[in-house]
Amino acid sequence: MCGIVGYVGRHNGVPVLLEGLQRLEYRGYDSAGVAVVNGDQLRVHKAEGRVRDLAEGLPKRVNGHVGIAHTRWATHGPPSDVNSHPHLDTEGNIAVVHNGILENAAALRAELEADGVTFTSDTDTEVLAHLIGRSTHEDLEDAVRDALAKVGGTYGLAVIDARQPDRIVVARNGSPVVLGIGNREMFVASDVAALVRHTQQVVLLDDGELATLTADGFTTSTLDRRPTQKETLELDADVSSYDKGGYDHFLRKEIADQPTAVEGTLRGRLDHRFATAHLGGIELTARELRGIRRVKILGCGSAYYSGIVGANIIESLARLPADAEPASEFRYRNPVIDPDTLYLAVSQSGETFDTLAAVQEVQRKGGRVLGVVNVVGSSIARACEGGVYIHAGPEISVASTKAFTSTAVAFALIALHIGRVRDLSPADGERLIGGLERLPEQLEEIMATEEHIARVAGRFSDATSAFFIGRVGGYPVALEGAQKLKEVSYVHAEAYPASELKHGPLALVTTDLPTVVVAPDDHLAAKNISAIEQIKARGGPVVAVGHRVLSELADDTLIVPKNEPELDPILLGVPLQLLAYHAALVLGRDVDQPRNLAKSVTVE
């Protein structure tokens, strides 16, 4: 993995490929490469580092009407020029770019080496290049089919052949592949972000499908040669959605986008007349909703933490047992799937491999699963029986901010929807609607305190570690706050329930270890104050996040406007996003592309 771009058409494809790679930089990567057919030869250029390093090293006159390009996030072999994609066969005719992991690559590599093949890289992808190059089929599409019949694992791939310079062959199994339709030109990418400048018409490949692209169009089929019919989708996005909008970083822009993103999540879904939420993607009758006995939320990383926020809201409003679990662990413990449980799969990209696999595990055992995703038409959205799009808009920075907040809002809508069918009173329904409608304005109020938050962030520039603690609704806020700090600043951070402070973590509190305490003015305020007192008694610096200044206790307080108790966690997390961002700036980090991380984790 991590990013694929391809072009076939009348124009020089190199600028298209480079621009596409730049638009995929947000996904996280360590090297980049490009291959184009020039005459009857492949021209291949690869470089460890950024896309700009690749572009600066390209010969001025390199060109070709057919080409593929890639940004790599290392899985097999360290980042290097040699391990960068594209990879070639022995004859130098075939070039392959690949996202995913080939699980039987080691065995295939051993077989090929025993047959005299010399490998030049450590990657699993090079196995594919040699398998395609050694196929007895002359047609590129058939040679790719032949190779894919031998491999196991996940792939999104694009292949070109210098001997057939009018086409690109692509295939998908577990890793996204999107075709873009132009005017006598075709595009391919792993993400629509690479395509929006050139086309608004796209086709999404399904797992087990292969496509051949020429300048005049495309054909699709299954791996066993059965033709498939594909629907053309119109993108609901424009180029400006993928720009920084005057900000220095996508991360800062997306934090600022949150009032608008929340409005997008709420738009058309609040019903004052019946004090409920209308969610067209949840096609469950009132009887089916009343028959739900439990809610299980599955997600990874920030999606999992938003799931904990959501489980708390659902349990509080709908009075259903609800919990969240990492999707990456769920399917490996042979879970018992209860037909009376509603499963919710959460993913910003809709392509998170572990979450998609969890969806398939639930469905395989007869369970019902709905999606809560941001990207329309994504794999998880299509795999689920229905669900809720969060409509937060494109999120480019690797660290999630607006998608986290909008997802939590979507869970509040789900809780309201289910709760009103069950026992939630109209008065409580209207109370929640009022709170949801206040969120955008309150988010703006938080943004206005950024200067103070930036000053507080300065203390983290000297810290090597930090604690984040909170109780009940504050605990997932602490989890996400710690996640943001370590993601973008590389300061080690851990989150604990505040109630667990005395059960181990307190031993590490010193004058050099700051603690961020999520301390809203709620029924647990006295207990949170007690936790602060215990930390201060040991000389630990404290930053409180809450509704009132705790100057007599905390060293600093990040003030958040008060909403309804169920919705307060949605607001409490936003100052921690700004705290992490400004700490990263002080430390000189690459906030949009943190090391070792990718935006969409499409492998295990």
When the candidates are 3.40.50.10490, 3.20.20.450, 3.20.20.120, 1.10.10.10, the CATH number that belongs to 244-442 is 3.40.50.10490
Question: What is the pLDDT, as a whole number, of residue 598?
Answer: 62
Question: What is the pLDDT, as a whole number, of residue 238?
Answer: 66
- The reply to whether 2-241 and 244-442 are identical in fold is no
Q: Which residues are catalytic?
A: 2, 599
In degrees, rounded to 5, the angle at the alpha carbon of residue 580 between the alpha carbons of residues 579 and 586 is 90
Sign of CA dihedral 33, 377, 268, 266: negative
**Which amino acid, one-letter code, is at 85?**
H
Task: Give the helix/strand (H/E) hosting 159.
Answer: strand 155-161
Sign of CA dihedral 310, 312, 313, 317: positive
Write the DSSP assignment of 207-267 as a string of letters: TTEEEEEETTEEEEEETTS-B-----EE----GGGGS-TTSS-HHHHHHHTHHHHHHHHHT
The Cα–Cα gap between 133 and 169 comes to 14
| CA nearest to 293, candidates 383, 422, 407 | 422
Question: What is the pLDDT, as a whole number, of residue 599?
Answer: 61
Phi-psi sector, 83: left (phi>0), alpha (psi -120 to 50), beta: alpha
The Cα–Cα gap between 96 and 381 comes to 28
173 bridge partner residues: 155
Question: What is the pLDDT, as a whole number, of residue 601?
Answer: 65
When the candidates are 3.40.50.300, 3.30.530.20, 3.30.70.520, 3.60.20.10, the CATH number that belongs to 2-241 is 3.60.20.10
In degrees, rounded to 5, the angle at the alpha carbon of residue 194 between the alpha carbons of residues 348 and 124 is 80
CATH class of 449-604: alpha beta
The Cα–Cα gap between 597 and 398 comes to 7
Question: What is the pLDDT, as a whole number, of residue 600?
Answer: 61
Question: What is the pLDDT, as a whole number, of residue 30?
Answer: 85
Residues whose CB falls within 8 Å of the CB of residue 548, separated by 6 or more in sequence, listed in order = 521, 557, 559
Question: Within 10 A of 228 (CB to CB), how many other CB atoms are there?
Answer: 14
Mean pLDDT by 10 residues, the chain (604 residues): 89 93 80 91 92 89 92 84 93 94 92 94 94 94 95 94 96 92 94 88 93 96 94 77 85 95 96 94 90 96 96 96 95 90 94 91 94 90 92 89 97 96 95 97 97 90 90 95 95 91 82 91 87 87 87 85 96 97 94 74 60
The answer to whether the beta carbons of residues 446 and 563 sit under 8 Å apart is: no
The Cα–Cα gap between 401 and 409 comes to 13
User: Residue ranges per domain, the chain?
Assistant: 2-241, 244-442, 449-604
Which phi and psi angles does 206 have, rounded to 5°? -100, 165
